[in-house]
Amino acid sequence: MNEDISPNYRPLDVQTVIPYTKARPELRDLFSPNEDLEAVEVGDGNLNLVFKIWAKADPRRTVVFKQALPYLRLVGDSWPLPTDRARIEAEALMVEYRLCPQHTPKVYFYDPDMYLTAMQNLDRHIIMRKGLNDGIRYPHFAEHIGVFLARTLGGTSDLMLDYRTKKMEVARFINPELCKITEDLIFTEPYRYTPRNGFHKELEPQVLALQADEALRVEVAQMKEKFMTHAQALIHGDLHTGSIMVNQEETYVIDPEFAYYGPMGFDVGAVIGNLFLNYAAQEVRMADPDQRADFRKYLTDTVIRLWQVFVREFQSYVWDHVDPINMPKAYQEDYMLRVLQDSAGLGACKMMRRVIGLAGVSDIRGIEDVHQRAIAGSLALNIGVALIKRRREIRTIEDLVEIATACRPTYPWKN
Ligand code: SR1
Ligand code: MG
């Protein structure tokens, strides 16, 4: 990585963010120069600083700043990261907002010297992963995310863009260093020894068996090749349930700093894979079997519904506008089937990395008791392995759900 940091760049803190806010002309309508503002730093992700700023006299007048650090927050300055990801994120948000404003936070401005994006504060919403861990259901989520996926993926693909614009967009969103993080953390490291892996020792026998499974490594290598070579659409690139903010009425997709031109199934699979990670975690999180079965039914119904909405929306938004001579119905159906099978394989990789690799998810790593955590992790791995190995059998979303729900945890080990 070789990057010149802007000479005007300085990471903000809760004090310096206030004068910075007051100096921004784009926010003059929101805050008057002499009023008292308050700020808090809320970044709990792996990479950035995130500030919420509001008017003391009226907290409804508020903004969020996301500022890139030149290194990985999760690890420290020994792991440098390109600040250009902040531009990618701001520009991806603007594309997503144009295509699907109802599920994208509005960007107020991007500051290229500070690698900072000012955007709508989603202060009535919570991170979906937290809600699911608490057993909260989101009745409109499947509809919302299905629409978001169809519009942002369909609308940035060759199916909708002219030949030149598509290539210019691929160039604008070239994001090599963040793609390399994904290539390493999702497709490489979980399948070999590295000190960065984060599974705990109770899971070691299953992880070692999985790493020894050459047939599995062949499937993963095929998925990695797809991630690295299939410039199908502008994908979010990190669309896990920690990148989704929800309440009972609304859904917003945040954080597209990993955006680049990649396979649609990487985004669809991220959502599905993360719903199944929560499904696996409920094995121990929800003690009451009826309550657990009911919540899991909600999760699998959500997977089925989001795919149905994706297909419906893709039809009206994309296929109804293409040339049927060059893209006949059978091609369209085959295209959707390939996206479904990619979603199974890529979503499976996203599940397995969250159990084995660096940067786990709270659904599973947040389970305090190690034996319970091993049960949930074991189930998540078995679902991942089944989905990637059997993805070619999948013809419908119901097939995908059936493969996943037939899995059981292998832990505790029986000799
Ligand atoms: C090293 S960054 C770790 C992870 O955080 C992000 O959310 C991505 O998922 C990345 O892989
Ligand atoms: Mg993120």
From the CA of 270, which ligand is nearest?
A: 1
Q: Is the CB of 81 under 6 A from ligand 1?
A: no
Two tokens at 365?
């790593």
Query: 163-195 burial, b if ≥16 CB within 10 A, otherwise e?
Result: eeebeebeebbebeebbebbebbbbbbbbeeee
pLDDT at residue 271 tops 80: yes
* DSSP 8-state class, residue 116: E
Residues β-bridged to residue 58: 55
Q: How confident is residue 1, by pLDDT bands cut at 50, 70 and 90?
A: low
Give 160-206 pLDDT, tens digit per residue: 999 999 999 999 999 999 999 999 999 999 999 999 999 999 999 99
From the CA of 85, which ligand is nearest?
A: 2
Q: Is the CB of 381 under 6 A from ligand 1?
A: no
pTM above 0.75, yes or no: yes
The alpha carbon dihedral of 134, 271, 189, 215 has a sign of positive
Q: What is the pLDDT of residue 102?
A: 98
* DSSP 8-state class, residue 413: P
Give 74-102 pLDDT, tens digit per residue: 777 888 899 999 999 999 999 999 999 99
Average pLDDT, stretch 380-387?
A: 98
Q: What is the pLDDT of residue 2?
A: 53
Give 139-172 pLDDT, tens digit per residue: 999 999 999 999 999 999 999 999 999 999 999 9
From the CA of 182, which ligand is nearest?
A: 1
Closest residue by Cα to atom 11, ligand 1, is 182
Q: Which amino acid is at 325?
A: I
CB-based contact 173:257 (threshold 8 Å): no
Residues β-bridged to residue 52: 40, 64
Closest CA relative to residue 154, chosen from 320, 300, 341: 320
Q: Which residues contact 178 (CB under 8 A, 6 or more apart)?
A: 81, 82, 85, 88, 237, 257, 258, 260
pLDDT at residue 341 tops 90: yes
Euclidean distance between the first and the last CA atom of the chain, given in angstroms as a whole number = 48
Q: How confident is residue 254, by pLDDT bands cut at 50, 70 and 90?
A: very high
Give 343-375 pLDDT, tens digit per residue: 999 999 999 999 999 999 999 999 999 999 999
Ligand 1 atom at minimum distance from 79 CA: 1
Q: What is the pLDDT of residue 403?
A: 98
Give 14-56 pLDDT, tens digit per residue: 999 999 999 999 999 999 989 999 999 998 777 899 999 999 9
Q: Is the CB of 346 under 6 A from ligand 1?
A: no
**What is the three-class DSSP state of 289?**
helix
Give 57-74 pLDDT, tens digit per residue: 999 999 999 999 988 877
Q: How confident is residue 415, by pLDDT bands cut at 50, 70 and 90?
A: low
Q: Is the CB of 74 under 6 A from ligand 1?
A: yes
Ligand 1 atom at minimum distance from 182 CA: 11
**What is the three-class DSSP state of 260?**
strand
The rounded percent of the chain whose pLDDT value lies above 90 is 93
Q: Which residues contact 157 (CB under 8 A, 6 or more apart)?
A: 166, 232, 233, 264, 318
